[in-house]
Amino acid sequence: MSSELLFAKYPSAVLEAGKSIGAKWLRLLDQLQLSSFAQDKRIAIKMHLGGGYGFSTIHPYLVRQLVSKLKQAGAAEVFVCDGPTAVRNAVERGYTTETLGCQIVPVAGTCDKYFYRRKIDPPFRGLEEVELAGEIVDADALVDFAHIKGHGCCGFGGASKNLSMGAVVHSTRRKLHQLEGGIDRDDERCNRCGVCAAHCPSNAITCTPGEPPEFNFHECKFCQHCVLVCPQKALSMSGGGYEAFQQGMARTTAEVLKTFAPGNVLFISLLKDITIFCDCWCMTTPSLVPDIGILAGRDIVAIESAALDMIKTEHLIPGSLPEKYQVDPADRRHLFEQVHGKDPFVVLRALQQLGCGSPEYTLREID
């Protein structure tokens, strides 16, 4: 069954403020019939607030206008949420209660310990249960406000990753990454430089001068940052289970969506500042393709499918990729698959099989 998606194109045919993406955004929100969605509900807006040196996240203007429209539509409460570390450092990217017009709360409390357990039935490769963030589960309605990016583990990050990795606690993220395999070290290549430890976002690697790195797998979330930044290519993931990781993500996303009544989830995807790695890498890099626009709809599979369809290899901006990455315009694989070697559509097919939606869609452009 085809789902209608609203689309606000980033480029404007004329240089008029009323035709710009900011004005189109407001018109898109007006077309979403938010009154039936928001009336008397506590609404969680799940987004990635970024961290570190990164600043190519969702602009506070877009968030503020969304919050304002939800309140005007009768929402009892609106709040933005993400992980505790991202919330603590949100002000560095301009996210405050004053700029957004609502509270910013940690999805699972300040210590990442407020969650609900949900069984995975049937279990998937040892993944028997996931821990869903309490503030998400407690909300009456959810806006999944995703920022589309490339991703080294699963090809891309979008609406599904925003929930499967962002609406859970650390223990679940670790379980999902463990589906990929382990980390192997080539001691002949390793020169003990410590770059892997310096770039580990979980502080899971210890490097004593002159000694090889040691991994604390209790803290490690198998994000592959160390594998990708190692200048000697001394680290590798064993197992090669990126498809299993995507399958686990899909199952976790499905559990998040089950907590909401039909019609109480809205998906919005921003296709702007589309970089090689997601915001969890804590840095900003060049955009791979020109800014595309904003998608909105009620079907997660449809909106993910549309987002991927709009990101095309032929639009790759020269010089946007690091030197070691190469793409071939004649290659029919998706740009993200060429860059990261992982089919980004695996998670879409898994979500469809789980009954979360359909990849069929039609676009209604907001002029």
Of 109, 186, 95, the closest CA to residue 145 belongs to: 95
The Cα 142–Cα 79 span in angstroms is 10
Of 163, 155, 165, 142, the closest CA to residue 308 belongs to: 155
Sign of CA dihedral 182, 185, 186, 187: negative
How confident is the model at residue 155, as a pLDDT?
87
Q: How far is CA 70 from the centre of its chain?
A: 22
pLDDT tens track for 252-303: 999 999 999 999 999 999 999 999 988 888 889 999 999 999 999 999 999 9
CATH architecture of the domain 3-177+242-365 equals 3-Layer(aba) Sandwich (3.40)
**DSSP string spanning 236-287?**
EEES--HHHHHHHHHHHHHHHHHTS-TT-EEEEEEESS--SS-GGG-S----
Q: Which CATH number fits domain 184-238: 3.20.20.70, 3.30.70.20, 1.20.120.1200, 1.10.1040.10?
A: 3.30.70.20
pLDDT tens-digit profile, the chain (367 residues): 899 999 999 999 898 999 999 999 999 999 999 999 999 999 999 999 999 999 999 999 999 999 999 999 999 999 999 999 999 999 999 999 999 999 999 999 999 999 999 999 999 999 999 999 999 999 999 999 999 999 888 889 999 999 999 999 999 998 998 887 778 889 889 999 999 999 887 688 988 888 888 877 655 666 778 988 999 999 987 755 678 999 999 999 999 999 999 999 999 999 999 999 888 888 899 999 999 999 999 999 999 999 999 999 999 999 999 887 889 989 999 999 999 888 999 999 999 999 999 999 999 999 9
AA letter at 126: G
* Domain layout of the chain by residue ranges: 3-177+242-365, 184-238
Of 172, 184, 180, the closest CA to residue 215 belongs to: 184
Tokens of 210: 């002159």
The Cα 200–Cα 210 span in angstroms is 19
pLDDT tens track for 90-142: 999 999 999 999 999 999 999 999 999 999 999 999 999 999 999 999 999 99
Could you tell me which residues come within 8 angstroms of residue 203 by beta carbon, excluding any fewer than 6 positions away? Answer: 219
In the block, tokens 């998606």 appear at: 5
